């Protein structure tokens, strides 16, 4: 019979393989690049191993837990990098599992990241004519530029854009994103 610790490694590999892209995404989102992104993946692996201790717990960890772990680890990596660059003596806050879920900035960044993904999904789900117009508008094009490019009248463009934005807000509301979201 195998000991519990024997099952940790395959469980960790399974979870890391499953969430590696997500963790890299979070790293890039928080300003990490190059080898720091891979360091983040390793840091998350280490934190999962230390915090959950068994293969069963690791495999049962919800995506939101992995997400928070990755955000927290990314922020700690950035702090460590800045501290090294500025004043090594100020390296006072250790990276560690005790920080998981306790950082207000991590919560804020998590909300921001989720908001971006939800905005992306909500735009994707709009009907085609409205979707293209809304994408152009969100990208920074004016109503006049959109009308000109599509050869549409100003009223038609305005109508499609307003309806598209209304649909978008309706979909975001259905996702739990209200008017007050992140200021």
Partner 1 sequence: MSDERLRLSYDRLLGVRAAMSSNREGCPDVEAMITLIRREGSEDARLDLLDHIMACPFCQAEFALLKTAGTAQPPE
- Which residues sit at the interface with partner 1, rule CB under 8 A? 24-25, 28-29, 33, 112, 115-117, 119-120, 123, 128-129, 131-132, 135-140, 149-151, 165, 168-169, 172, 177-183
How many helices (H) and strands (E) in the chain? 8, 0
> What is the C-alpha to C-alpha distance for residues 162 and 159, in angstroms, rounded to an integer?
5
* 105 Rama class: left (phi>0) / alpha (psi -120 to 50) / beta: alpha
Q: How far is the CB of 150 from partner 1 (least distance, A)?
A: 7
Q: How far is the CB of 91 from partner 1 (least distance, A)?
A: 28
Q: How far is the CB of 34 from partner 1 (least distance, A)?
A: 11
- List the structure tokens of 100: 């998981």
> What is the C-alpha to C-alpha distance for residues 97 and 50, in angstroms, rounded to an integer?
8
What is the distance, to the nearest Å, from the Cα of residue 36 to the centroid of all Cα atoms in its chain? 17
**Minimum CB distance to partner 1 smaller for 11 or for 133:** 133
Q: What is the DSSP letter of 126?
A: S
**Minimum CB distance to partner 1 smaller for 41 or for 172:** 172
Q: How far is the CB of 116 from partner 1 (least distance, A)?
A: 4
Q: How far is the CB of 40 from partner 1 (least distance, A)?
A: 14
**Minimum CB distance to partner 1 smaller for 87 or for 139:** 139
**Minimum CB distance to partner 1 smaller for 1 or for 182:** 182
Q: Are 71 and 47 in contact (CB under 8 A)?
A: no
Q: Which residues, other chains included, contact 145 with Cβ-Cβ below 8 Å and sequence gap of 6+?
A: 136
**Minimum CB distance to partner 1 smaller for 56 or for 170:** 170
């Amino acid at each position: 019979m195998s000991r519990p610790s024997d099952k940790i490694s395959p469980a960790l590999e399974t979870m890391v393989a499953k969430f590696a892209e997500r963790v890299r995404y979070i790293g890039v989102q928080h300003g990490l690049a190059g080898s720091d992104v891979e360091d983040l993946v390793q840091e998350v692996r280490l934190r999962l191993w230390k915090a959950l201790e068994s293969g069963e717990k690791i495999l049962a960890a919800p995506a939101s837990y992995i997400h928070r772990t990755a955000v927290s680890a990314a922020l700690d990596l950035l702090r460590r990098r800045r501290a090294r660059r500025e004043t090594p003596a100020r390296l006072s806050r250790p990276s560690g599992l005790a920080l998981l879920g306790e950082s207000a900035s991590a919560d804020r960044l998590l909300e921001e990241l989720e908001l971006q993904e939800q905005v992306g999904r909500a735009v994707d789900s709009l009907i085609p004519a409205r979707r293209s117009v809304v994408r152009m508008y969100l990208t920074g094009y004016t109503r006049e530029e959109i009308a000109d490019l599509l050869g549409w009248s100003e009223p038609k463009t305005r109508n499609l854009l307003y309806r598209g934005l209304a649909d978008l807000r309706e979909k975001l509301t259905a996702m739990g994103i209200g008017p007050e979201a992140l200021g």
